Amino acid sequence: MKGYIQVYTGNGKGKTTAAIGLSIRAVGAGKKVFFAQFVKGQIYSEVKSIQRFLPQITIKQYGLYSP
């Protein structure tokens, strides 16, 4: 099976939004999605929504956020 990896990095906003958009498109195309977030440490509303409505997307958060 062929897979793809997308990595979003950098300061500012838009990384999670871009990743969620691509994940939804992939699920719509019948793909499995593993969504990893680094240095977040808390569950955001978009993560809760994905877990509730899109069980085809597996989300795992790594690291801890400490300002």
Q: What does the pLDDT look like over 13-55, one tens digit per residue?
A: 888 889 999 999 999 999 999 998 886 667 778 888 888 888 9
52 within some domain = yes
pLDDT of 65 over the 70 cut: no
Reference 2, options 26, 19, 18; nearest CA is 26
pLDDT of residue 47: 81
Residue 3 located in a structural domain: no
1 located within any domain? no
The answer to whether residue 45 sits within a structural domain is yes
pTM score, whole prediction: 0.77
CA distances from 26 to 4, 11, 22, 40, 67 (A): 10, 25, 6, 23, 33
Question: Which of the two residues, 1 and 10, has the higher pLDDT score?
Answer: 10
